[in-house]
Structure 1
C-alpha cells in the first residue's frame, strides 16, 4: 500500500469505483468472516443512515453499494468505531475458510484455525498487505471453502507419521474464476498443518518479489515454470518430526489433545 493515512489506506484497498456508470462500493472487512451481534446492529444502522444497498461477499466480507464520495468518510468512521475498517479485504490477510472441524461433521481438520495461523504468519513476515493473491481453505476434500478456485488453496486430510495420525493439508496453486476464464487449482504438495503457514508465506513473498505490473498470480505461476517449479521450493516443509521432537505437529489448531480424524454423517445424510 502506498497511502499512509488510515482513511486513504482504507480507500485504496476497500473502495471500488465502477468505470462504466460511476457507482461506488466499499467493503467492510470481517476477519475470518466473523461478525458479532453488536457489529451487525451497527452495520444495519449504517445501512439506514447512508441509504446503501448491503451485500455479503464470497470472501466473507460486507459490501456497501450505491455510495457517494461524501458518504465514504462517514462510512469509514462508523466502521472504524466497530473494528471493521482495517485494510484487509482482497489482500493476502483476507483468508477464507469453511467452518471446519469446529462445527462440521465431515471436516477432518480445523480449517479456521489454519486460516488464523496463516494470517498471523503473513502479518509477522510483513506480507499481509500483498494484493492480488487469494487464499482459501476447506477442512476436507469438499469445496465449501472454495479451495479449488483460489490462488492458494488447501483442503484438510489425515496424515500418518511415525505411527501416529496428524493433521495435514493438500496445497493447490493457481485457481482462478473470472473474466470468462476458469482455472482449477493444481496440486502442489502435501504439508503438515503446522507447516502450511510457512508454505503460504514463501509463495506470497516470491509472488510479490517477482510479479510484473498487472500480472495475476496464475500468469506469474505459469511464467516461472508452473506449479511443480513453485512447489519445488516448498518440499522441505513436507516433513514430520517425531512426536517426542515436536508434539505440536500432532495436535490441530485450537485443540489441546492428539489429532483424531473423527468424521460423522454429513448434514444431508441425517
Structure 2
C-alpha cells in the first residue's frame, strides 16, 4: 500500500509540508510570494520540522527553480495530422505541427514570464511589512503587512479589509476581518464593493480602532478601495485622492479598469452635487 502524504508527515514530523506546498502554489498563482504559515510549536520528544532548513525567501527560490526545471523537462507534444495532411508530407509540418508548436511555445513563455514576475516582486516583498498611514485610523499595505501582528497591534489596528481572491485571514482571533474576493484584472467589478468597504472602515473608526486595507502587493486593488473611501468621505476628486495615497505609498498604481471605475464614481458624485445645488437654488 502506497503511503499517503499524511502518513509520511506523521512519521517524519513534517506536518506542515503539504500546507506549505499549497501556500506556495497559491503564491505563484497570484504572482506574489506571501510569507509561509508559522510552524507549529515543537513539543518535547517531537521530531524536528523541516522549517529550520530554509528561511522563507530560500524556500521561495527553491520552488522557483523546481518549477523552472519542470518547464524545461516538458517535451513538445505531438499534434495529430488531418487526413489532408497525411497525403502531403511536405505540408504536414507547416500546416499542422507549426501552429501547435507556436501555441505551445507561447504557453511556456507566459509561464516563465509569470515566474520571473514572482521573483522580481519577492525582492521587494521582504521589506514591505509595515503598513502606510493614509489618515488617522486608516492604513494601506501588502499581505506582508497584514501578517505583521506585532506592528498592527502597536498601530491600534483592530480591523483588516482583505481585497484579494485567495487570501485567508492570518490572525482571525486577533482582528475583525472582511474579505472581498476579487482578482487584479481590468474587467473585475470592484465598484460594486465600494459602499460596503466604506461602511467597514467607518465602523472600525467608530469603535475607536484602526483598519488596514490590503491586497497582495498593496498596489492596485487595496489602493482602489482606499481612493474610493477618500473620495466618498472627504469629497476629494480622483486626482486629489490618488495623489494623496501615492504620497503615502509611492507604489500605489490601480490598473486601468479600476481607474475607469473610480472615474465613474467621480462622475456620479459630481452629478449628485449638481442636483443638490439645483434643489437648493
Pick the structure with greater CA Rg: 2
More strand by share: 1
Same fold (TM over 0.5): no
Give the TM-score, by structure 2 length: 0.27
